[in-house]
Structure formats: C-alpha cells, structure tokens
C-alpha cells in the first residue's frame, strides 16, 4: 500500500545521541534542555518570537483560547467564535469542548480558506474571536481578516497546522494574529511524533499560557492559574530536533513530488489557488475533481492498485451534529465532496508517482 502520507524518520544515530543525553540527565519532562533548545531553534527557523511548545496541536488550540480569554466565560454566557467548516475537526471541536460555539462561515471557492466577505454578517454580541485556518498551508487573506478583527475588537487565532515554514510577502505567515497554533503530529511536514506549538503576538499572553500548560504552577508551593498538563516532553523534542536538522532535504524532495503532480494534473483539474506572495511548503497535494462521482471513481481505482487517497477535508463540518446547528455553506460542501489529497512524502518513488498519475488520467477519460 502507498499511503497518502508517511512520517519522516530522521537519522537514527543522531536521535540515539539525543536519547543518550536524556538518559544521562534523567530529565524527561518539565521544560527540559531539549525542549528549551527546540524552542530557540524553531523561533529562529520560523522567524518568530514568543513560541511555546505543547504536547499536541489540539492542546495548542485550547491553550490559545484560554490564554486569550475566549473560553473563560461566566455561568449563562455562551461565547461564539467564527471559523471555517473546511478544516480538520479539531479546529472546531476544541472550541466546543471549551464551551465556545463554533459559527461557520463559507470559504473562498479558489483558495479554500475562510472568505472575509462572509465574516461580518456572522458577528453577534456573543462573538469573541475569529479562528481561520491556513488550509493546506495556503495563506488566508490576513489583511482583510485582521481589519475585521480590529474593527470589532475580536481576538484572532489562526490554525496554522499545515503552515510550518510558510512565508507570506517574505516573512513568516505565523506573524499574523493574536496567536497562531501549529501541529507537530507524525504526519506533518515537521513533527515531534506528537506535539504542537503556539506563537503569541504578545509576551504577556505567552507567559500566561506558560503557566497554564503546567497546571498553573509557578513554584514549589505556588499555583497562580487554572491550568492543565500540556507540556512537551524531552523524547518529543529529541525527534523534533533531528527532523529540523534535515528539513531542507525533506522540503526539496516534497517540492519535486508536488511539482510533478502539478505539471500534469494542473492542466485538467482544479488545484488550490495560492497567493502570489506565498512561499509554500509543499506539505499536501489536494485536487478537486469535476464531480463527487469522479472523485470517488478515482479513489476506488487508486485503492484497487494499492494507493491511498484521502478525502481531506470531508465532511464539511456544518454536517457534524455534535458541533451544533449551522447555516448551509454551499462552497465548503461542494469542495469537500469533490476533493482528494494524493500521496506526498519523501520516500515516494518516481515510478509510483507516475503510476498514480496514469491511473487518475485513465479515470478522467472515461
């Protein structure tokens, strides 16, 4: 089976050296030396400040909501956050889990990111935040969304789980918003096995979140904040340091895979429209087919030949009942019904990729 993605595994000898150091220090968690090192290196690599490592990307979202006061509500209050239905479930379920109602607005039909033109009509007296997603690493319209957030005095948290290393107008895309969250899950371009991070605009928000991820504890006999256990451990950080060392090589191989797909499939099928000032990370290759029937036929043909293609993102989240009743977002529903993500990973052989492309082209001629 050719999977849709495969975790990048770095040099084992280097990883072993980091693990040897963990054994020597006997320091496994609670802001260990490797977590400190990875924090500094990621800030430098990504071109950001105020980065906080956490145990996973979902906790990154939840801590960001808490640190910015979005999910801190009084009895009887029902805060809302405007977000997109075209994303992984964690963007919205993390809001709902913390007592914040996700309110979906439709996406742009070309970029597949939240359409700023739909936001203001969804704002109510209960709205506390806007939570857009840089879908597949594509930049949202950060200027327009930022203007709306400032106009209505709303917090702005970007889910950038797919946007590791992405640049916008020559700077890190992670510099926009009051907070930006990252996922370092094993399937991501950069990973720590499991893990995540939050990049805060303001240092005071970072410091508050730092307390929150360790139960609110600030000293041996001092608890200043309502907190939870969301810390990254040293084994996760060791993996991250090794993956980061090999990031340039990984990116080059992924770019080659991505561009080979684009050269052929981009002639006949809809690809995601990216901002002309975007420095992309080639983490995913999503393609929208002409109909849901065609997409399912292609997926079945690929599966028959041992190739996994994922309906990512499907379903459009307004259809998930546990998230609450929602308005109908026609564009999100339409794109979600016709999309497939094709295999992209560093070990994908050119011969296998040629087979994938040939199978798709054969189905398109039927």
Q: How far, in Å, CA of 203 to CA of 131, rounded?
A: 20
The residue among 304, 302, 306 whose CA lies nearest residue 341 is: 302
pLDDT tens-place values along the chain, 366 residues long: 999 999 999 999 999 999 999 999 999 999 999 999 999 999 999 999 999 999 999 999 999 999 999 987 777 788 999 999 999 999 999 999 999 999 999 999 999 999 999 999 999 999 999 999 999 999 999 999 999 999 999 999 999 999 999 999 999 999 999 999 999 999 999 999 999 999 999 999 999 999 999 999 988 889 998 999 999 999 999 999 999 999 999 999 999 999 999 999 999 999 999 988 999 999 999 999 999 999 999 999 999 999 999 999 999 999 999 999 898 999 999 999 999 999 999 999 999 999 999 999 999 987
The residue among 135, 124, 118, 136 whose CA lies nearest residue 100 is: 124
Question: 321: which DSSP letter?
Answer: G
* Phi, psi angles (nearest 5°) of residue 155: -70, 150
The residue among 103, 107, 79 whose CA lies nearest residue 91 is: 103
Q: How far, in Å, CA of 116 to CA of 105, rounded?
A: 9
| pLDDT given at position 76 | 72
Q: How far, in Å, CA of 78 to CA of 355, rounded?
A: 52
For 162, 255, 296, 308, the CA distances from 2, given in Å and listed in that order, are 21, 18, 18, 6
- Residue 65 near residue 100 (C-beta atoms within 8 A): yes
| pLDDT given at position 306 | 98
The residue among 330, 309, 310 whose CA lies nearest residue 319 is: 330
Question: 310: which DSSP letter?
Answer: B
pTM: 0.96
Tell me if residue 170 falls in helix, strand or coil.
Answer: coil
The residue among 336, 35, 64 whose CA lies nearest residue 182 is: 64
β 155-159/179-183 pair status: parallel
Question: 172: which DSSP letter?
Answer: E
| pLDDT given at position 327 | 87
Residue with tokens 């290196």: 41
| pLDDT given at position 275 | 87
- Residue 247 near residue 165 (C-beta atoms within 8 A): yes
The residue among 36, 71, 29, 32 whose CA lies nearest residue 51 is: 36
Cβ-based burial of 20 (10 A; exposed 0-12, middle 13-18, buried ≥19): exposed
- Residue 86 near residue 115 (C-beta atoms within 8 A): no
| pLDDT given at position 339 | 98
| pLDDT given at position 200 | 98
Structural domains for the chain: 12-244 (3.40.640.10), 247-364 (3.90.1150.10)
| pLDDT given at position 73 | 72
Beta-bridged to residue 288, according to DSSP, are 270, 339
Token couple for 184: 């370092």
- Residue 54 near residue 230 (C-beta atoms within 8 A): yes
């Amino acid at each position: 089976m050719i999977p849709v993605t495969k975790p990048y595994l770095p040099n084992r000898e280097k990883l072993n050296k980091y693990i040897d150091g963990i054994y020597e220090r006997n320091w496994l968690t609670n802001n260990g030396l490797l977590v400190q090192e990875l924090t500094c290196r990621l800030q430098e690599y990504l071109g950001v400040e105020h980065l906080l490592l956490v145990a996973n990307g979902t906790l990154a979202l939840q801590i960001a909501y808490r640190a910015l006061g979005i999910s801190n509500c009084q009895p009887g209050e029902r805060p809302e956050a405007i977000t997109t239905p075209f994303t992984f479930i964690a963007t919205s379920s993390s809001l709902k889990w913390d007592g914040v109602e996700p309110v979906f607005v439709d996406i742009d039909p070309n970029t597949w990111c939240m359409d700023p033109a739909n936001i203001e009509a969804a704002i109510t007296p209960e709205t506390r935040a806007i939570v857009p997603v840089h879908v597949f690493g594509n930049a949202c319209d950060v200027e327009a969304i930022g203007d709306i957030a400032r106009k209505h005095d709303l917090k702005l948290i970007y889910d950038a789980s797919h946007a590791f290393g992405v640049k916008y107008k020559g700077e890190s895309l992670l510099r926009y918003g009051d907070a930006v969250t990252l996922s370092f899950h094993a399937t991501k371009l950069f990973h720590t096995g499991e893990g995540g991070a939050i990049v805060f605009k303001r240092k005071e928000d970072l410091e508050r979140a730092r307390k929150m991820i360790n139960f609110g504890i600030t000293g041996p006999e001092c608890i200043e904040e309502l907190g939870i256990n969301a810390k990254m451990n040293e084994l996760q950080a060791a993996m991250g340091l090794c993956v980061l060392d090999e990031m340039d090589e990984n990116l080059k191989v992924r770019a080659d895979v991505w561009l080979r797909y684009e050269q052929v499939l981009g002639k006949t099928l809809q690809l995601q429209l990216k901002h002309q000032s975007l420095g992309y990370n080639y983490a995913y290759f999503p393609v929208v087919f002409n109909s849901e029937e065609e997409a399912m036929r292609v997926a079945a043909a690929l599966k028959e030949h041992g190739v996994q293609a994922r309906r990512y993102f499907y379903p459009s989240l307004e259809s998930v009942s546990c998230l609450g009743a929602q308005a109908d977002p026609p564009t999100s529903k339409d794109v979600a019904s016709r999309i497939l993500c094709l295999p992209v990973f560093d070990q994908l052989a050119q011969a296998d990729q040629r087979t994938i492309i040939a199978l798709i082209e054969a189905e398109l001629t039927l």
